[in-house]
Amino acid sequence: MTISKLSEGLSVRRRAGPPDAEIRGIAYDSRTVRDGYLFVAVRGLSVDGHDYIRDAVNRGAVAIVSEKAAADLKDAGPFAIQKNVAFVEVTDSREALALVSAAFYGNPSRSLSLIGITGTNGKTTTSFITRNILNAGGKRAGLMGTICYITGEEEVPASHTTPESLDLQRCLSEMVYNRMDYAVLEVSSHALALKRIEGCAFKTAAFTNFSQDHLDFHGTMDEYFRAKSRIFNYLAPGGTAVLNWDDPRLRPLAQSLDCEVTTCGLEEGAMIRAENIETGARGKGQGARSRGGVTPPVHGKGLRGVSFDIKTPAGGFRVESQLIGMFNVYNILMSAGIAYSLGMSETAIRTGIMNTRPVTGRFENIDEGQGFLCIVDYAHTDDALKKLLQAARPLTKGRLITVFGCGGNRDRTKRPLMGAVASELSDFVIVTSDNPRNEEPGAIIDDILKGVRGNYSVRPDRSEAIREAVFMAKDGDTVLVAGKGHENYQEIKGVRHHFSDEEVIKKAIQDSKFNIQD
């Protein structure tokens, strides 16, 4: 495809160089440029791609897309022109990257039914449930989110919740090649603000909930909300918005959208409602029984999953799930709302929900035969931590011991909020490191401690913190390790070191001096 054809539809200020330059590939990192590539210069958060145009040309780029005029690029612009490289100046290179990537890969989203899921919390679990419902209904569904990308039979670890637009379009094209019917995408606020999903059109777009996060990037809650709400700008004609009716920030949005809207919740007015909820209990024989004598699914230490009646405009039916806690009732409801908007059958919804196992690092029970619960979760906002602790409390006969930290170079204002929530809802708190990145762990911990009250200790070494929690736990207690979930690394001073909460917990349990019973 030529650069002139590829750049049709872009907001172009001016062009120079050969319009018939044949494009063999696209790159936004000059180090990945090969002969015949188009290099799109993007302004990053810490690096400006315009500074690497000369490098891209030296590596074989035959075309450049830039927000800056060639004349304003010091020697790089004239150098590119001198090398007979096509130069396309655009108003927004991020938007241009997304649109040329979609065109280069044949606009794959037009051959798929796209489902986009955004929200502060719950995106990952909702996406897995949704995919399982689609599969149960005989559809082939790919998935892209925080944990992994599934574009065919295999899954690969995710690099970002929503990858850069070039990588997103490549993955969508792989789904088309592998004859997928649907693509379920977690859509982050960063992706929406940075226009990574330009060129996509969603059949259904869902907004799970809204609370504080990412203010280091968005600046204010209002701007964060505006970024999240932009997902509905990408609805295809006739598409449906699915929103959490119980969230006070989302209800007005649901009432104002100019499209088909499906609302989910527990409160009156929601189209998809949960009733007669059984959230399960811990211990053999202690699980609450659902109507008709059906016991919610049991796994690990007698933990029972949730069960409830789903009421829709078309009727009602009961669902049983392996997932635990009220927050998962909402995740299931959102998935049921998405499925309802897509016309999926009751059988597919019930089966998909039942088939969804706890997602890695999302209220994951680590059972090594110990007499106390060990839960790993990704919660890294005060709202997510609050819901996590509220879900753990009914399962806890003894003390609730919480281990958590906060990420460096991220929203500092949520740190004391998380400290307050942890100390209010836990019996004992151990404050530690998460991913300190380029901040000093001690400074992050000091911010957290501004909100901490009651019984706590400080262990900057995360491994030591987890071991302290495990060694102090007794039968009937719950050890909850929050913040990193599925992540298998700690990022310190720009380097990722292998670290797994699950691995450390298992080793600590084996090393503990408590009598481990079957």
Measured between its terminal Cα atoms, the distance across the chain in Å is 64
Least confidently predicted of 43-52, 97-106, 257-266? 43-52
- Whether 14 has a pLDDT exceeding 80, the answer reads yes
Secondary-structure breakdown of the chain: helix, strand, coil percentages, each rounded to the nearest 5: 35, 25, 40
**pLDDT confidence tier of residue 287, bands split at 50, 70 and 90:** very low
Q: What is the pLDDT of residues 436-475, one digit of tens each?
A: 999 999 999 999 999 999 999 999 999 999 999 999 999 9
Q: What is the pLDDT of residue 313?
A: 93
- Whether 211 has a pLDDT exceeding 80, the answer reads yes
Token representation of residue 406 = 């906060």
> Is 390 exposed, middle or buried (CB count within 10 Å of its CB: 0-12, 13-18, 19+)?
middle
Q: Looking at this protein, which amino acid is placed at residue 93?
A: S
Buried b (16+ CB within 10 A) or exposed e, 269-294: ebbbbbeeebbbebeeeebeebeeee
Q: What is the pLDDT of residue 252?
A: 95
In sequence order, the 6+-apart residues with CB closer than 8 A to the CB of 190 are 161, 162, 196, 214, 217
Q: What is the pLDDT of residues 370-400, one digit of tens each?
A: 999 999 999 999 999 999 999 999 989 999 9
Q: What is the pLDDT of residue 76?
A: 83
- pLDDT: is 312 or 301 the higher one? 312
8 Å CB contact between 214 and 409: no
pLDDT, average across residues 243-261? 96
Give the Cα separation of 205 and 366 in Å (integer). 33
CA-to-CA dists, residue 324 to 52, 147, 300, 319, 360, angstroms: 49, 19, 11, 13, 13
> Is 180 exposed, middle or buried (CB count within 10 Å of its CB: 0-12, 13-18, 19+)?
buried
Q: How many CB atoms lie within 10 A of CB 248?
A: 8
Q: What is the pLDDT of residues 120-137, one digit of tens each?
A: 999 999 999 999 999 999
| Domains of the chain with bracketed CATH | 3-96 (3.40.1390.10), 105-355 (3.40.1190.10), 364-511 (3.90.190.20)
Bridge-based pairing state of the strands 12-16 and 86-90: antiparallel
pTM comes to 0.87
Give the Cα separation of 9 and 102 in Å (integer). 12
- pLDDT: is 134 or 314 the higher one? 134
Of 241-245, 411-415, 493-497, where does the model show the most confidence?
Answer: 241-245
Give the Cα separation of 483 and 384 in Å (integer). 10
- Whether 288 has a pLDDT exceeding 90, the answer reads no
**pLDDT confidence tier of residue 280, bands split at 50, 70 and 90:** low
- Whether 156 has a pLDDT exceeding 60, the answer reads yes
Q: What is the pLDDT of residue 301?
A: 57
Give the Cα separation of 67 and 41 in Å (integer). 7
Q: Give the gyration radius of the chain's Cα atoms.
A: 25
Q: What is the pLDDT of residue 297?
A: 44
Token representation of residue 384 = 């997510």
